[in-house]
Amino acid sequence: MSLHDDDVVGKAYDARLMRRLLEYLRPYSAPAALALAAIIANSMLQLAQPYLMKVAIDRYIPAGDLSGVNRIALWYVLILLTGFCLEFTQTWLLQNTGQRIMFDMRMQIYRHLQRLDLRFYDRNPVGRLMTRVTTDVDVINDLFTSGVVSVFGDVFTLAGIMIVMLTMNWKLALVAFAVLPLIVVVTQWFRRNVRESYRTVRRLIARINAYLQEHITGMPTVQLFRREARAFERFEAINQEHRVANVESIFYYAVFYPAIEIVGALAAALTIWYGGRSVLAGTLTLGSLVAFLLYSQRFFRPISDMSEKFNILQAAMASSERIFKLLDEPVSIESPAGTAKPSRRSATSEGTEREGGHIVFDHVWFAYNPTEAGEPDYVLRDVSFEVKPGERVGIVGATGAGKSTLINLLLRFYDVTRGRILVDGVDVREMDLAALRSLFSLVLQDVHLFTGTIAENIRLGAAEITDDRVRAAATAVHADAFVSRLPGAYAAPVAERGATLSVGQKQLLSFARALAFDPRILVLDEATSSVDTETEILIRDALHVLMSGRTTIAIAHRLSTIQDMDKILVLHKARLREMGTHQELLALRGLYYKLYQLQYKDQEGKDTKEAKDTKELTKELTKELLGSQNLP
């Protein structure tokens, strides 16, 4: 199940979703309750103004009581000030709570994302996940700040007005309420139609955008095949449909607002007619009539407001559905229950003899999509091998032979389909995840840098890696030289994705990172991208530093890197085909031999000088380049 339904236009109200949303309100029940109280109090206060008008007209104006009028004005000021405080409190509490809920929700989503396995990431592009964390959460915020909650206020205002009118004069109130069925009919008609046309418009705008997006990307093809005119015709057709659908939805709005006003005027007319008769008959005061008129004005505003909230509600429901779907995504790779978290190795372990680092692949089969029907598409078939502590192993093979998969399984990014992987005699599935991964340093082809300083990129979040260790690690892998030249050196900021650094520099930084963590096992996916000869030599030498005294598993693209490794595995079409040292494999005259020849030719074509005797030359050049720096 992938989270693909970005264009869902959900129901406007779904009790199940709403209950789950309200769960988020629980930690903030006190401020939320306070806000609700403020809303209720404020809507009650709104009722006071027409009443004051009534009192002025009935009691003080006919009597010419100036001090009474003054008192009324004073009350009015008091009500205004209280209203101001209440409204401020309400907005502040409500929006604050909304923001805190958003914060909690974002953290929850993010934490969940940090636990979901890589299979999930394979299925869901980063952009989509980002939308969940940002936009979708914001949409739900609207629900709290301007949607549902203000509907509460509206409902209370309505109820309050009805009660006051009924107590003032129930007969006149009932006459005025006679228009309510009309309101219900109009609102229902509007809601039904607007929902339909809202969906149509949404669907069409999605089509316009999809078409536009597709044609912007494919514009060269359109032009090469002279399809401009016809592509435009089709665009115009969808655009036209969109316009028609919109004009239709304008119709509903254009009818709705005046209709509500006319119903309101009808209520006013009934009040004047029936209330006027009562005034003449002496059963109603003139002030009450005026107050009635003012109340009925206030009565219809919330009703048209509430209909507008409809779209907000609908969008929020769709967003929350997507968010909950993500949160419900099961975490399939977890530490098994009952494994004690081992204490972190102390930072002083550097230099001491490393123990362990024994790896066994025992008849490992793996497919990225094992659940699909039929024979799974195995990327690894029955792969078995052993790496002894301190041994250095190279993996070679064509693209797609399954090399990277080996690494993914070893660090338990994925679980094996069949067979097992043992690290220091324990099945990786039975180890604490953090404990397992703390045994490794991983160096990937594409170096991933974070925004932050150079030092932060080397130590990442591990506070126990001191500045000295950062510097020592960088020096050991020859990164210190270029880092020192940066303005601010280790405190120099790394731009987004390391845009200001060269490919080689990024490589060296990732080496420094790997070394700083001082792992028992080094796992390396050698970069394919070509760098200039100088950097190449620095990288090669840094690699030696990195590998010394550690179990190393390296995916090699240049055979020159792994010639002196203890063992070389040759993967071909998902199977482990050959295994041995460089010389043994050459003697075999098999796959490795051919690969070697291929590379040799490649290098011959590129640079004859280098191909002659890479090792000798490297040593010479390294000395020359590194100059004063101490060579290990």
Partner 1 sequence: MSPAIRKLLPYVNRYRRAFVLGFVCVVSTTTFQLLGPWVLKYAIDDLYRGVTQRKLILYAGLLVGVSLVRGLFLFLMRRIIIAASRDIEYDIRNDFFRRLEQQPLGYYQARRTGDLMSRATNDLNAVRMMIGPAVMYSASTILVFLVAIVLMVSIDLRLTLIALIPLPFVTISVRYFGTAIHKRFEQIQAQLSEVSAVVQEALSGVRVVRAYRQEAHETERFSRANQEYLRRNRVLIRLQGAFFPSMTLFLGFGSMLVLWLGSRDVIHGKITLGEFVAFNGYLVMLAWPMIAFGWVTNMLQRGLASWGRMLEVLEHQPAISDAGVTAAGRGAALDGAVEFHHLTFTYPGADRPVLADVSLRIEPGQTVAFVGGTGSGKSTLINLLPRMHEPPPGTVTIGGVDIREIPLERLRGAIGFVPQEPFLFSDTIGDNVAFGDRKKDTKEAKDTKERVSAAAAVARLDKDIADFPRGFETMVGERGITLSGGQKQRTALARAVMVDPKILILDDALSAVDTYTEEEILSRLRGVMRARTSILVSHRISTVRDADQIFVLDDGRVAERGTHAQLVGRDGLYAAMYKKQLLEEELQAS
List the interface residues with partner 1, window 421-460 (CB under 8 A): 434, 437-438, 440-442, 444, 448, 450-451, 460
Beta carbon of residue 54, minimum distance to partner 1 (angstroms, whole number): 11
Nearest-angstrom CA–CA distance, 458 and 452: 10
The correct pick among 13, 92, 283, 341 for binding partner 1 (CB under 8 A) is 92
Q: Give yes or no for residue 215 binding partner 1 (CB under 8 A).
A: yes
Measure Cα distances from 76 to 70, 153, 291, 481, 598 in Å: 10, 21, 15, 76, 93
Residues 586-615 that bind partner 1 (CB under 8 A): 590-591, 594-595, 597-598, 601-602, 604-605
Cβ proximity to partner 1, 277 vs 388, nearer residue? 277
- Two tokens at 347? 């930072």
Nearest-angstrom CA–CA distance, 262 and 268: 10
Nearest-angstrom CA–CA distance, 519 and 73: 79
Beta carbon of residue 630, minimum distance to partner 1 (angstroms, whole number): 28
Residues 389-408 that bind partner 1 (CB under 8 A): 398
Kindly indicate which of the ranges 227-235, 353-361, 372-380, 614-622 contains the residues binding partner 1, using the contact rule CB under 8 A. Answer: 227-235
Nearest-angstrom CA–CA distance, 61 and 67: 11
Residue corresponding to tokens 């301190």: 390
Measure Cα distances from 330 to 1, 122, 201, 335, 456 in Å: 11, 15, 35, 14, 32
Residues 490-509 that bind partner 1 (CB under 8 A): 496-497
The correct pick among 144, 190, 300, 517 for binding partner 1 (CB under 8 A) is 517
Cβ proximity to partner 1, 342 vs 363, nearer residue? 342
Q: What is the contact mask toward partner 1 in residues 300 to 339, using x (rule: CB under 8 A)?
A: ----------------------------------------
Cβ proximity to partner 1, 15 vs 126, nearer residue? 126
Residues 149-188 that bind partner 1 (CB under 8 A): none
Cβ proximity to partner 1, 457 vs 622, nearer residue? 457
Instruction: Decide: helix, strand or coil at residue 364.
Output: strand
Q: Give yes or no for residue 280 binding partner 1 (CB under 8 A).
A: yes
The correct pick among 29, 188, 240, 332 for binding partner 1 (CB under 8 A) is 240
Query: Which residue type is seen at 456?
Result: E
How is residue 460 annotated by DSSP? T
Contacts of 64 (CB under 8 A, 6+ apart): none
The correct pick among 268, 313, 527, 537 for binding partner 1 (CB under 8 A) is 268
Q: Give yes or no for residue 226 binding partner 1 (CB under 8 A).
A: yes
Cβ proximity to partner 1, 484 vs 597, nearer residue? 597
Beta carbon of residue 626, minimum distance to partner 1 (angstroms, whole number): 28
Cβ proximity to partner 1, 17 vs 458, nearer residue? 458
182-183-185-191 Cα dihedral, nearest 10 degrees? 160
528 torsion bin: left (phi>0), alpha (psi -120 to 50), beta (else): alpha
Helix (H) or strand (E) holding 516: helix 503-516
Count of residues touching partner 1 (by CB under 8 A): 135
Beta carbon of residue 259, minimum distance to partner 1 (angstroms, whole number): 7
Cβ proximity to partner 1, 17 vs 144, nearer residue? 144
Q: What is the contact mask toward partner 1 in residues 36 to 75, using x (rule: CB under 8 A)?
A: -------------x--xx--xx--xx--xxx--xx-xx--
Contacts of 354 (CB under 8 A, 6+ apart): 390, 520, 549, 550
SS3 for 232-275, per residue?
HHHHHHHHHHHHHHHHHHHHHHHHHHHHHHHHHHHHHHHHHHHH
Q: Give yes or no for residue 220 binding partner 1 (CB under 8 A).
A: yes
* Residue of 403, 406, 409 whose CA lies nearest to 436: 409
CB 542 within 8 A of CB 443: no
Kindly indicate which of the ranges 97-105, 380-388, 419-427, 547-555 contains the residues binding partner 1, using the contact rule CB under 8 A. Answer: 97-105
Beta carbon of residue 524, minimum distance to partner 1 (angstroms, whole number): 12
Cβ proximity to partner 1, 253 vs 324, nearer residue? 253
* Residue of 632, 626, 284, 266 whose CA lies nearest to 472: 632
Beta carbon of residue 357, minimum distance to partner 1 (angstroms, whole number): 16
Nearest-angstrom CA–CA distance, 458 and 470: 7
